[in-house]
């Protein structure tokens, strides 16, 4: 007989049936309660607030640096953030840190055995989000694996995408946003 967690119960080891005809469930463990004085609680919150501001400031510095570089560096670094975000979303949904080593080495894209495929099955990303991740990964791979792409420019890249009216409109909007950057 198995308990609610899928493990064998202590009664299986004894070769005796559970006396009440139900699955064995281990007792719920309670968390210890720790009481704080009001002053201690305020100090704890204050120190936590400073740590939070420090962490946000570090991330903000990184994002500002990311925006200020050349287009090639932006794509490479942005793709690293995108892949890291997908990895974290999958791991958070799975909720089992033992799977981290497996998920972290999975390719981001590439058929049925990829982080993107897992994210799709777990409904973590919408179809447009998955298309963006896929196209971003393809662009990153092209830039990272070809020396002639070191001088990559979004303006030139977008201009080369297509000649349909929709492509021209989208390209014009993107070029305008890039030039404002």
- List, for residues 20-66, the tens digit of each pLDDT value: 444 444 455 555 666 767 787 777 777 777 776 776 677 677 767 77
Instruction: Tell me the CB-side half-sphere exposure of residue 107, using CA atoms within 13 A.
Output: 10
Which range marks the domain in which residue 134 is found?
Answer: 70-150
d(CA 118, CA 130): 11
All residues at 6 or more sequence positions from 137 whose CB lies less than 8 Å from its CB, including other chains = 79, 82, 83, 108, 109
Residue 111 lies in a domain: yes
Instruction: Give the bridge partners for 8, in sequence order.
Output: 2
Residue 144 lies in a domain: yes
Residue 20 lies in a domain: no
Query: Between the CA of residue 39 and those of 31, 43, 44, what are the distances in Å?
Result: 23, 6, 9
Residue 118 lies in a domain: yes
Please tell me the predicted confidence (pLDDT) of residue 38: 79
Please tell me the predicted confidence (pLDDT) of residue 112: 84
The tens digit of pLDDT for each residue in 141-155 reads: 999 998 888 888 888
Task: Determine the average pLDDT of the residues in 130-138.
Answer: 89
Per the model's pLDDT, the better-predicted residue between 119 and 34 turns out to be 119
Please tell me the predicted confidence (pLDDT) of residue 96: 87
Structure letter (DSSP) for residue 109 = S
Number of folded domains that form the chain: 1
Residue 15 lies in a domain: no
Residue 82 lies in a domain: yes
Residue 106 lies in a domain: yes
Residue 134 lies in a domain: yes
Phi and psi, residue 64, nearest 5°: -65, -40
The tens digit of pLDDT for each residue in 67-88 reads: 777 888 888 888 988 899 899 9
């Amino acid at each position: 007989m198995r308990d609610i967690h899928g493990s064998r119960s202590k009664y299986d080891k004894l070769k005796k049936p559970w006396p009440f005809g139900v699955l064995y469930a281990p007792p719920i463990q309670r968390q210890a309660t720790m009481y704080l004085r009001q002053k201690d609680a305020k100090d704890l919150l204050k120190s936590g607030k400073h740590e939070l501001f420090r962490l946000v400031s570090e991330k903000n510095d990184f994002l500002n640096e990311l925006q200020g570089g050349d287009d090639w560096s932006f794509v490479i670094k942005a793709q690293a953030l995108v892949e890291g975000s997908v990895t974290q979303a999958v791991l958070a949904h799975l909720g089992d840190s033992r799977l981290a080593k497996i998920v972290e080495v999975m390719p981001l894209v590439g058929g049925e055995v990829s982080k993107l495929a897992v994210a799709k099955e777990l409904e973590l990303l919408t179809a447009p989000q998955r298309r963006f991740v896929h196209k971003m990964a393809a662009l990153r791979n092209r830039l990272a694996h070809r020396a002639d792409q070191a001088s990559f420019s979004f303006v030139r890249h977008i201009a080369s995408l297509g000649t349909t009216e929709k492509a021209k409109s989208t390209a014009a909007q993107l070029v305008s946003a890039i030039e404002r950057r």
